[in-house]
Amino acid sequence: IEETYKKVLDSISNLRKRSKEQRRIPHDNTDFVRCLCLCLQHNHAQTQELLTHIRKVKQVKQDIDESSPLIINLSLEMSEWDAQIDGWQSQRQREIWALVDTLCNKIKQSDGAK
């Protein structure tokens, strides 16, 4: 594309170098038109590529927006389960210590009875 762009600039420069009378006389500007068409085609292709990319980004954003509440709810549920599991573990630990205390007291009582 840079080569084509350079050709277009050269053609424009050549057109400007012509006198007013030469500009009024029709000339064969096929090369200039061909270069200009190539630039326009390349520009069109880039625009289409950009639009395709924008559509994909828009779809990804929409997917994220749809998934975000689900992820937030899942995170909240996980936090609740984590708190509940911590509560169960604390309760079990208290029960184990209560059993250990009971066993220690029974051992002390049986040692005192002998």
Task: Return the C-alpha torsion angle 7, 13, 17, 23, nearest 10.
Answer: 80
- Phi/psi class of residue 26: alpha, beta or left (left: φ > 0; alpha: ψ in -120 to 50)? beta
Orientation angle between helical segments 30-113 and 2-17, nearest 10 degrees: 150
pTM value surpassing 0.75: no
Task: Tell me which of 52 and 23 has the higher pLDDT.
Answer: 52
Residues 6+ apart with CB under 8 A from 23: 15
pLDDT confidence of residue 78? 97
Q: What is the pLDDT of residues 31-89, one digit of tens each?
A: 778 878 888 888 899 999 999 999 999 999 999 999 999 999 999 999 999 999 999 99
